[in-house]
């Protein structure tokens, strides 16, 4: 049944519409919702929609090349799976289906610390690179063990979430009394409330002191923080507002991106998440200074609609739309995409 239904899906918005009927109300509210009045959730989309493109015509676009390199990885396209928690509430196969879907779509999968499947099990089915999103705990030995487990399982980078000393006012989750169903647990994170409020740049230096893989910081919106990240020696930055799930009324990530790109000045790679739903969104992010983008909620909806095939289709649609957007703006390679593509 799932295959027939997802065959008719033509864009990422369709996936969300179908997912409403596939997910429990609690699971849907968990994925779809943001913090407080959800201004930032809406702004992520509105800001992308408001950017106009400036195409160049009569360019040879017979060969579109979306390949790029990122932290030593040669990637066929600049679209990664963002870390999102609790995949077993969306589909019985959980993160195993996500990893298989990522493999078929040739995408890097950033596994959440709040995965409902062990890294060991995910690594067994993964055919494309895995990264780990990391929440630093007050128990530093616990955190160190998790980093070393990730390295042992072949994870190729750490994405340290730095914008969540506390969780935001998630009213929609509160209204549905969100809780994990019986039998679903998080093998690497036993307590959602044990996040550390004392995380500082010193802790990033501490992580770097023993991590054998690149360390990125996820949750940067302020250019001064981007400068500190470079000075601290991290390998990359993820411009993120936690998909509007923590502090409401912070700006859209696409609005923060150019300021951060200017400050970083190509010294380290910049990734961006938040609101990506169309190939034109990917193009806009790269034009404004991102090396790659991450997609979260649509992956969750794709997973709910069709398991691994749903995940693959989400990424396939986005990649195809990105290729179309490149061709229609006269850009045959990623290197050619710059701010000239944005209508000023």
- Binding-site members are 30, 83-85, 112, 133, 135, 161, 170, 218, 240, 242, 245, 273-277
Angle at 263 between CA 283 and CA 41, to 5 degrees: 50
- C-beta of residue 258 within 8 angstroms of C-beta of residue 223: no
Phi, psi for residue 32 in degrees, rounded to 5: -80, -25
What are the start-end ranges of the H helices in the chain?
A: 2-7, 12-22, 25-32, 39-50, 94-104, 119-125, 140-152, 171-175, 201-210, 223-232, 253-264, 279-287, 297-328
Nearest CA among 211, 212, 255, 263 for reference residue 237: 263
Longest dimension (CA), the chain: 59
Q: Please report, in range form, the residues annotated as the binding site for FMN.
A: 83-85, 112, 133, 161, 218, 240, 273-277
Which residue among the candidates 77, 87, 188, 242 is catalytic per the annotation? Answer: 242
φ/ψ of 16, rounded to 5, equals -65, -40
Are 268 and 230 contacting, i.e. CB atoms less than 8 angstroms apart?
Answer: yes
Binding residues for glyoxylate: 30, 135, 170, 242, 245
Name the DSSP class of 65: B
Active site residue 77: no
What is the Cα–Cα distance from 304 to 287, expressed in whole angstroms?
32
For residue 122, how many C-alpha atoms fall within 13 Å in the half-sphere facing its CB?
Answer: 32
Contact 116, 145 (CB under 8 A): no
Contact (Cβ atoms closer than 8 angstroms) between residue 298 and residue 314 = yes
Helices (H) then strands (E): counts for the chain: 13, 10
Known catalytic residues are 242
């Amino acid at each position: 049944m799932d295959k027939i239904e997802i065959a008719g899906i033509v864009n990422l918005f369709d996936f969300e519409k179908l997912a409403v009927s596939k997910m429990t109300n609690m699971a849907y509210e968990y994925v779809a919702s943001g913090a407080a009045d959800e201004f930032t959730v809406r702004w992520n989309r509105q800001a992308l929609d408001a950017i106009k493109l400036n195409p160049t015509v009569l360019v040879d676009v017979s060969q579109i090349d979306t390949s790029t390199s990122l932290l030593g990885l040669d990637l066929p396209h600049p679209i990664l799976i963002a870390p999102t928690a609790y995949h077993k509430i969306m589909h019985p196969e959980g993160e195993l289906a996500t990893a298989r879907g990522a493999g078929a779509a040739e995408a890097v999968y950033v596994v959440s610390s709040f995965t409902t499947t062990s890294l060991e099990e995910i690594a067994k089915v993964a055919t494309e690179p895995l990264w780990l999103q990391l929440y630093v705990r007050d128990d530093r030995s616990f955190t160190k063990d998790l980093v070393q487990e990730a390295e042992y399982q072949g994870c190729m980078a750490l994405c340290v979430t730095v914008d969540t000393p506390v969780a935001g006012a998630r009213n929609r989750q509160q209204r549905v009394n969100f809780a994990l169903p019986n039998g679903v647990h998080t093998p690497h994170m036993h307590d959602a409330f044990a996040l550390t409020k004392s995380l500082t740049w010193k802790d990033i230096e501490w992580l770097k002191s023993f991590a054998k893989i690149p360390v990125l910081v996820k949750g940067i919106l302020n250019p001064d923080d981007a400068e500190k990240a470079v000075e601290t020696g991290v390998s990359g930055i993820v411009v993120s507002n936690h998909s509007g799930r923590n502090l409401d009324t912070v700006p859209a990530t696409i609005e923060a991106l150019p300021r951060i790109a200017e400050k970083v000045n190509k010294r380290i790679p910049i990734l961006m998440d938040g609101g990506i739903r169309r190939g034109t969104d990917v193009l806009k992010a790269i034009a404004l200074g991102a090396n790659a983008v991450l997609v979260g909620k649509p992956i969750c909806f794709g997973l709910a609609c069709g398991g691994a095939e749903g995940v693959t289709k989400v990424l396939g649609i986005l990649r195809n739309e990105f290729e179309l957007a490149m061709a229609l703006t006269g850009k045959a390679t990623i290197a050619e995409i710059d701010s000239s593509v944005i209508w000023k």
